[in-house]
Amino acid sequence: MTHRIPMAGVLGAPVAHSQSPKLHGYWLRRYGIEGHYVPIHVEQSDLEEVIRAMPKMGFVGANVTIPHKEAVLGLADIVTDRAALIGAANTLIFRSDGKLHADNTDGFGFTENLRANSDWDPKAGPAAVLGAGGASRAVIASLIEMGVPEIRLSNRTRTRSDALRHEFGTKISVVEWVNAGDMLDGATTVINTTALGMVGQEELKINLDKLSPKAVVTDIVYTPLRTKLLEDAAAIGCQTVDGLGMLLYQAVPGFERWFGTRPEVDAATRDHILNT
């Protein structure tokens, strides 16, 4: 067989804002790997046609972002347990036997980020989760996998948090959005999975009076890196972990599968994403 340069990319609409090409491109150069990673804007109606054609063009895999993360599950031959549980995939592998493999590494990114950047012990006590959207599903699935004893969940739209409780089971209790501060009492892990606090969005308004300094607090928002939640929690004495690490770590399993090297997430990687 002739030598083909492996290619991967990110499928989305829009896709221009994605940091993935920058991140994977950096790792390819850093490890001297002959390969390419490109942004691919694809509309929903073209998704299947594009995915079916990609292996023939030399693609070994792809990341998937909004709005295709759910739809790709229906096209895949093999769906990992964690992708099925979350109901969405962010990482595709075009296997040499022609089968399409779909995985979700968002939860892995979330837990690796906390493990690498704090003394996080998932089993130490209850987790408090703000938000019940797509990111929240990945976070909740991995919290359960990590053995968190109890999950308290609060979301502006109550029906969405109730639906997650129904789906993920009795470890989850739902707290009214107006009382979100109450669920911080005794919580040892606190996660904002909403877009609140992001540049251009409203601030997350939550009463931190009950937040213990023993809690590890993280935010999936990474613009700004230091959200008001993280700043306020740090002032109380909590360990805080910014959201950029989740983005970086979720990319590790895909890069390794496609290009054969496990990439390292380190200060140079962060610096490249933040400053170039």
Please tell me whether residue 194 binds ligand ATR under the rule CB under 6 A.
yes
Kindly state the smallest distance separating residue 202's Cβ from ligand ATR, in Å: 5
Distance of CA 7 to the CA centre of its chain: 22
Please tell me whether residue 132 binds ligand ATR under the rule CB under 6 A.
yes
126-130-135 Cα angle (round to 5): 105
Please tell me whether residue 223 binds ligand ATR under the rule CB under 6 A.
no
Please tell me whether residue 131 binds ligand ATR under the rule CB under 6 A.
yes
- 94 exposure class (CB count in 10 Å sphere: 0-12, 13-18, 19+): buried
Residue type, 258: W
C-alpha closest to that of 249 among 261, 263, 259:
263
- Residue closer to ligand ATR, measured from CB, 85 or 196: 196
Selected range binding ligand ATR among 17-25, 40-48, 150-158, 244-252, rule: CB under 6 A:
150-158
Would you call 69 a catalytic residue per the annotation? Answer: yes
Catalytic residue among 69, 99, 210, 228: 69
Distance CA 72, CA 114 (A): 28
Q: Which of residues 157-176 bind ligand ATR (CB under 6 A)?
A: 157, 160
> What single DSSP character describes residue 232?
H
> What single DSSP character describes residue 111?
H
Residue 10 belongs to what H/E stretch?
strand 7-12
Question: Contact letters (x/-) for ligand ATR, 20-59, by CB under 6 A?
Answer: ----------------------------------------
Selected range binding ligand ATR among 72-80, 93-101, 141-149, 151-159, rule: CB under 6 A:
151-159
Q: Which of residues 196-215 bind ligand ATR (CB under 6 A)?
A: 196, 202
Please tell me whether residue 156 binds ligand ATR under the rule CB under 6 A.
yes
Q: Maximum CA pair distance of the chain? A: 65
Distance CA 29, CA 199 (A): 31
Q: Which residue is nearest to ligand ATR (CB)?
A: 133
C-alpha closest to that of 60 among 26, 34, 42:
34
Q: Which of 6, 25, 133, 224 binds ligand ATR (CB under 6 A)?
A: 133
Please tell me whether residue 195 binds ligand ATR under the rule CB under 6 A.
yes
Q: Take residue 94 and report the two structure tokens written for it.
A: 């075009």
- Which residues are at the interface with ligand ATR (CB under 6 A)? 131-136, 155-157, 160, 193-196, 202
Active site residues: 69
